[in-house]
Structure 1
Amino acid sequence: MIARAVLALAAGLWLAAAARDGVDGWVAATDLPPLTIVTGAEVVARDGRLLRAWTVADGRWRLATDAGRVDPLFLSMLVAYEDRRFASHPGVDARAMLRALAQAAWHGRVVSGGSTITMQVARLLEDSGTGKLTGKLRQIRVALALEHRLTKGQILDLYLRLAPYGGNLEGLRAASLSWFGREPGRLTPAQAALLVSLPQSPEARRPDRSQQAAAQGRDRVLARALAAGLISAETAATARTEPLPTARRDFPRLAPHLTDRLRLSDPAQPHHATTIDADLQARLEQLAAEAVTRHGDRLQVALVVADHASGEIRASVGSAAYENDARQGFVDMTQALRSPGSTLKPLVYALAFDQGLAHPETLIEDRPLAFGRYQPQNFDRQFRGTVRVREALQLSLNIPVVTLTEAMGPERLMQGLRRAGVQAVLPGGGPPGLAVSLGGLGVSLEHLTGLYAALARGGVARPLSPLPQGGAEGERLVSQVAAWQVGHILAALQPPDGSAPGRIAWKTGTSYGHRDAWAVGWDGRHVAGVWLGRADGTPVPGAFGGDLAAPILFAALARVSPMAAPLPPPPAATLQVDNARLPLPLQRFRPRGAITAPGALPEIAFPPDGAQVALDGAPLLARVRGGTPPFTWLADGHPLDIATPARESHLPLPRSGPLTLSVIDANGQAARVTLTLAP
């Protein structure tokens, strides 16, 4: 008898093992649908907030998410309501299925479902039906196979991406943004409950169609959460009174021109992280819309704001509105090539300071001059005679800046633009002429703002970028002294709002024919650029940078921060004296050609141009031939030896690296070489 029982038990165990092995083989042989879920491309701000998203190919909103980015209360409610034994079952909850079958048999209808979260994922992956036995069996098989091949966390992530939420909303993140305008990482209990209930009846419970059905579904989830101890009775009662959304919200579309550009630059990249400040971007887009409202239906505006220390763009507004209207708002005017007018003048002066051609207190002539057949005029057609260089820049006089450009050569200005990362385009593609210093070329607002960022950064150029750049060092454009001198001059200009000067260094410009009005400036932390005009390039009668663009520049910087960050103090090497105490060659600028005696031009005999010199702590031996003594030697615009009659000098150079060595003779004639000093 005992032997017979033992044999029966052994046979039963063998049959169970065989059945188990058969089921395992059946599950292992399952062909799973693709598990890679395509999500819409997105661009996010520096804090991770969504700036812009796109639908997937079939027009559905489906965005990348995972359990780590979801409010924990939502996840707890989801498991408590949909699948209490999710953590322990193998994909199918036998107890829940038996309960569902018993209830259906007793009531004659389906009372509760037996599907697990894994079974729902199986159905969503291949859109298998649930009304037929074959569909349910297929879900069971796929669910068991998913549990064999994926972790519980991976299965939950698939659910969070695929669950339907009504209309073309798919996945929790798209639903949370559309119904509540927020990411799913922070949800109220009422919001979490509604989002748990919606996938069961995504169309019937849509709050924009049936507030009653949506409220009933939400409240059932809250009741289950209360019973499970996830929320208190007080929290549940408060959540039931929270208003439901009545309509879907638009998905974010901040910085549309920039986000379009980033997506087109790398279409295969689903996620683009930027340095954009979402709140600042929204404030400046509002400012842009306000700026054009009183100026007809064709005036357009663009703005760029960046952190000039890092080169990271904080806001980029391509137009006042992203629309195909009379303003042609779809055109990104931060990238369009336009004439910069007088906004290149600060670079000309900085280069001239560096080369020993001038100092802010140098006297320069503002009188009628002809350079061959080119006869520049001031904007107001007036001449002011002898002025200080400081005044020439502040008054934006044309003749002095052209005179300086002629002295150093327009190609040097073009080289400076290239070092600053400015892609300047000359009309006709010919060699640069003197008119480039007055805006006779095309640049973009983003590149022009980057040029001013280099001046704000102490003369080091680093291209602006909306993408994280890391710790790029940048390239020396002008010396720290020259950059500070230009900024100090521009900061003394009277702000358009009548406030006290000294907080912001700024410059305006107006292109020929009043086609473009500009204002660019910086404080101790941020740089901003503003362009106004018409996208089609037609003139805007009466448009001046000082009248139109400057107030927007100051308003933009005020929206960055109500208190401007202070500008830096002068570098230690800055020569701050009045004109009478300047070295004689720097007291008055004399144009090239003023000295006609043969052999009068100075030339640096040693060291040669481009030399690499190892000083080992000793002074640099420098020699000059030609020219008229006394001589003044300068390194990056900083005087080293003033009015020396000797043609040979020993110059103390305290730092290593690249520098420009200049010598100026008694007649104001200069020569210069570029050196690299070894440490």
Structure 2
Amino acid sequence: MCCIIFMIERIKSKLFSFLKTRWAKTILVFLGVFFLLNFLFPPKINVHYSTIVTDSNGEILHAFLSSDEKWRMFVELKEITPTLRKAILAKEDKYFQYHFGVNPVAICRAVFNNITKKRRTSGASTITMQVVRMLNPEERTYWNKLSEILRAIQLEIFYSKDEILQMYLNLVPYGSNIEGIKSASYLYFQKSPDRLSLAEVTTLVIIPNRPTSLKLGTKNPLIVEERNKRLKTFQAEQLFDNQSINDALREPLLVFRHEAPKNAPHLSLRLKKQFPDEAIIVSSVKKATQAKVEQMVANYVNRTRVMNINNAAVLVINNQTMQVEAYIGSAGFNDNFDGGQVDGVQAVRSPGSALKPILYATAFDKGIITPKNIINDVPTNFNGFEPENFDRKFNGKVSIEFALANSLNIPAVKVVRDLGKSTLIEQLKKADFQTVKKQEKDLGLSIVLGGCGVTLEEMTQLYAAFANEGNWQKVTMLYDKDVKKKPSHTPIISAAASYLITDILAQIKRPDLPNNFDYTYRLPKIAWKTGTSFGRRDAWSIGFNKKYTIGVWVGNFSGEGVPELSGAEIATPLLFQIFNTIDYNTSGEWFHQPNAVVSRQVCAESGDLPSDYCSNKILDYSIKGISHTRKCTHLKKFYVNLSESISYCTQCLPVSGYKEKLYTNLAPELVSFYEQKHILYEKIPTHNPNCTRFFKIANNAPIITNPNNGSEYYISKNDSQQIQLSCQTSNDVKEVYWYLNDRLLQKTLSNKPLFFAPTVGKLKISCTDDKGRSSNIWVIVKEE
């Protein structure tokens, strides 16, 4: 014990004596200055990496050159396999794990060899020193070598061994503009570093020292020779087992430089622009799905080009995660002739009829309509706006579900009018329709027929809300493995309204199913809606089931219309092909009816609750506590004489010689339609001409269809121009009276137009039927 104490005292004494010497003070000052400078000027790692976009599994989809025009793909620690690590360290720095950035033994050996042989035979550079040199390339002098040593020590202070090795593998040169083992691995072997064989690893290990003479693709035989020498060295050092070495020695080297991955180009460009400083962007896309859909779109457009339909775009959304699994912006990114670089997912186009589902769903939620409600599909003038159906035909009385399934235009515009244009616009704003937000003040009733700008992304997101009980959420294009269900959402419609829309759009026999469709025998069960824009410039088909929502747009980016272009015939076949491919083995799970959706009996003639006169009753869906409770009024009781030639009111009802009879209570617009088409209907007899009572009834007043209320007309002094007066009246009207500024102009039959010569100024035009019901409009007549 005494000896130990004595020894400690002697050491302390020697240490204190040494610290008083000039050398010790010099060393302490040097260390103090070094550590001060170390923390004042930490190492700057400012490497510009190539941006790479991967799929959800980490497979590279697309790679971009770095800002300094290098292929320098960032390698992650998980890609540095034990084989790669052992080979690199054995070749470059056996004592990497033990030194502090500098190997003193190697430096002394190098100095001795350089002095004795009078030339530089070895630089004694560790991996850390090589990283310093690659980060800051300098001329190889002794002074720079000293600086390199100090910087290497500094690097060891700030970073772990794994991080320094990672830097080395990211910066190591492979000739031309290729840097880093990941770049070399993909550009030569077309695989990630963690999938390289021992022979491939060894090949990439030996090249950095001679990147010019050992150039892959042109010097393969020489590379094999050098590779095998290194493998035998590994074998002598027992770095790998003999079987692995022997297999590697026999492995051929048939490689050359390949193009960098260029898949999903539109999505990749979008993500690179969105995240310019990220080296690795993990997208939500599934590489296999993306490749399949890309190929289907390219093949499909190759067939449609004979019709001058040259492009298409597709977006596939997973409804459970709201992540994009396939993103095809065009049929061919490199097709410069047909605008292949335009991103059709983000391009603003006209939606045609594709917005009708959100309109009807909103009307369901407001209680205005139910699926079986009857609406008149007849020519209608909406203050100068006179829409037509796609086939330019009219169907008379139709149900709401028929109107939606057949994409009828007049019923849709009527629902917009009754719902309120602003209500529909607010719904689209909730669903983040950017162009609608900008155009809001300029939009009219035509919005539901395609009179606004939308993108495929916005439309597909909207339909995904139907698959998620009316909850809208913006899609993400970045992968998140922790997503279970949508974390946040915006309810835009109720689950009940979503179910009603889905039920209508999932009908087995659909009018918008393409003629002679080849895949009819194995159609997946989906709900879908088509759309065709004015001028046949855009064809849409968007479908969804429990798992996916898929949006398809087909057309020309130039905006050129094509007579054959339609959502049903052109876009829908591609939609079904994609569903059949990516969701072929689906579980078949479908949407469950919410508790708020209940069945009730309604009159088949109106879709309203049956009255005492209704005999034909059917079942209809309704939303509990929301849907209207209107009583059916399609039949009305009249008192008529026994020959049914005269009708009576209660004031002129005779004592005898009359009977009660029910007549169909047709709307004026429907009566006018029947008259124009010569469709037979039972007319209500003329009211008793001897009755003196004046009927002041608000309901079923004449509808003035021409001229348009608030219109301006210009007349010339020299021409005798005339304006047409026409109206629509109810079933019980035979004659109408026209007034100009409250002065009688003329009496006419209810279905006959009248012409008059206008005078300059503001005119009040009135129409009164033979029941005393009136309507008024105002027009302005100006002189040219």
TM-score, structure 1 normalization:
0.79
Alignment of 1:246-645 (within 5 A): 246-296=255-305, 299-323=310-334, 325-425=336-436, 430-467=441-478, 471-494=486-509, 496=517, 497-499=519-521, 503-564=525-586, 565-576=588-599, 579-580=602-603, 585=608, 637-640=622-625
* Deviation of the 1:266 alpha carbon: 4.2
For 2:603 and 2:289, locate their aligned partners in 1 and report how far apart those are by CA, in whole Å: 47
Provide Cα deviations, 1:631-667, integer angstroms capped at 9, x if missing partner. xxxxx95134xxxxxxxxxxxxxxxxxxx68554555
Equivalent position of 1:214 in the other structure: 223
Aligned: 1:36 with 2:46: yes
Provide Cα deviations, 1:56-95, integer angstroms capped at 9, x if missing partner. 2221122323434322210111111211111112333344
Bigger Cα displacement from structure 2, 517-526 vs 88-97:
88-97
SS state of the match for residue 81, structure 1? helix
* Deviation of the 1:97 alpha carbon: 4.7
Aligned: 1:63 with 2:73: yes
SS state of the match for residue 381, structure 2? coil
* Deviation of the 1:271 alpha carbon: 4.3
For 1:129 and 1:32, locate their aligned partners in 2 and report how far apart those are by CA, in whole Å: 22
Bigger Cα displacement from structure 2, 483-492 vs 267-276:
267-276
Equivalent position of 1:179 in the other structure: 188
Letter in 1 for 2:450: G
Bigger Cα displacement from structure 2, 233-242 vs 556-565:
556-565
* Deviation of the 1:529 alpha carbon: 0.3
Equivalent position of 2:204 in the other structure: 195
Q: Is the 8 A contact 1:492 1:502 kept in 2?
A: no
Q: Is the 8 A contact 1:394 1:493 kept in 2?
A: no
Provide Cα deviations, 1:477-515, integer angstroms capped at 9, x if missing partner. 222122112112211245642135671111111111110
SS state of the match for residue 240, structure 1? helix
Q: Is the 8 A contact 1:179 1:245 kept in 2?
A: no
Letter in 1 for 2:238: G
For 1:213 and 1:363, locate their aligned partners in 2 and report how far apart those are by CA, in whole Å: 83
Q: Is the 8 A contact 2:601 2:609 kept in 1?
A: no
Letter in 1 for 2:50: G
- Residues 523 and 228 of structure 1, relative CA distance in 2, 3 Å threshold: farther
Letter in 2 for 1:221: R
Bigger Cα displacement from structure 2, 238-247 vs 423-432:
423-432
* Deviation of the 1:528 alpha carbon: 0.5
* Deviation of the 1:227 alpha carbon: 3.2
CA RMSD of superposed structures (Å): 3.4
SS state of the match for residue 334, structure 2? coil
Bigger Cα displacement from structure 2, 437-446 vs 266-275:
266-275
Alignment of 1:211-250 (within 5 A): 211-250=220-259
SS state of the match for residue 304, structure 1? strand
1:122 to 132, 151, 155: 132
Provide Cα deviations, 1:416-474, integer angstroms capped at 9, x if missing partner. 22222223439976443222221121111100111111111111111223136864331
Bigger Cα displacement from structure 2, 388-397 vs 442-451:
388-397
SS state of the match for residue 472, structure 1? coil
TM-score, structure 2 normalization:
0.69
Letter in 1 for 2:527: A
* Deviation of the 1:377 alpha carbon: 1.7
For 2:488 and 2:356, locate their aligned partners in 1 and report how far apart those are by CA, in whole Å: 25
Q: Is the 8 A contact 1:426 1:432 kept in 2?
A: no
Q: Is the 8 A contact 2:373 2:608 kept in 1?
A: no
Equivalent position of 1:657 in the other structure: none
- Residues 519 and 584 of structure 1, relative CA distance in 2, 3 Å threshold: closer
Provide Cα deviations, 1:371-411, integer angstroms capped at 9, x if missing partner. 23222222112223333332222222222222222221222
SS state of the match for residue 459, structure 2? helix
For 1:394 and 1:86, locate their aligned partners in 2 and report how far apart those are by CA, in whole Å: 71
* Deviation of the 1:190 alpha carbon: 1.6
Q: Is the 8 A contact 1:41 1:271 kept in 2?
A: yes
- Structure number with greater Rg is 2
For 1:551 and 1:325, locate their aligned partners in 2 and report how far apart those are by CA, in whole Å: 26
- Residues 231 and 576 of structure 1, relative CA distance in 2, 3 Å threshold: farther
For 1:161 and 1:500, locate their aligned partners in 2 and report how far apart those are by CA, in whole Å: 50
* Deviation of the 1:220 alpha carbon: 3.2
Q: Is the 8 A contact 2:309 2:562 kept in 1?
A: no
Q: Is the 8 A contact 1:366 1:385 kept in 2?
A: yes
Structure 1 unaligned regions, length at least 5: 1-5, 589-635, 641-659, 670-679
* Deviation of the 1:546 alpha carbon: 1.4
SS state of the match for residue 335, structure 1? coil
- Residues 578 and 530 of structure 1, relative CA distance in 2, 3 Å threshold: farther
Bigger Cα displacement from structure 2, 240-249 vs 328-337:
240-249
* Deviation of the 1:36 alpha carbon: 3.4
* Deviation of the 1:123 alpha carbon: 2.2
For 2:299 and 2:132, locate their aligned partners in 1 and report how far apart those are by CA, in whole Å: 51
* Deviation of the 1:253 alpha carbon: 2.4
- Residues 544 and 427 of structure 1, relative CA distance in 2, 3 Å threshold: farther
Letter in 2 for 1:638: I
For 1:340 and 1:444, locate their aligned partners in 2 and report how far apart those are by CA, in whole Å: 8
Structure 2 unaligned regions, length at least 5: 1-10, 612-620, 635-666, 668-784
- Residues 462 and 150 of structure 1, relative CA distance in 2, 3 Å threshold: closer
Q: Is the 8 A contact 2:428 2:436 kept in 1?
A: no
- Residues 502 and 247 of structure 1, relative CA distance in 2, 3 Å threshold: closer
Equivalent position of 1:652 in the other structure: none
- Residues 150 and 371 of structure 1, relative CA distance in 2, 3 Å threshold: closer
- Residues 506 and 206 of structure 1, relative CA distance in 2, 3 Å threshold: same
For 2:369 and 2:335, locate their aligned partners in 1 and report how far apart those are by CA, in whole Å: 49
- Residues 33 and 460 of structure 1, relative CA distance in 2, 3 Å threshold: closer
SS state of the match for residue 387, structure 1? strand
For 1:371 and 1:137, locate their aligned partners in 2 and report how far apart those are by CA, in whole Å: 86
Letter in 2 for 1:354: D
For 1:224 and 1:240, locate their aligned partners in 2 and report how far apart those are by CA, in whole Å: 12
Q: Is the 8 A contact 1:452 1:521 kept in 2?
A: yes
For 1:347 and 1:147, locate their aligned partners in 2 and report how far apart those are by CA, in whole Å: 61
Bigger Cα displacement from structure 2, 310-319 vs 358-367:
358-367
SS state of the match for residue 347, structure 2? coil
Letter in 1 for 2:165: L
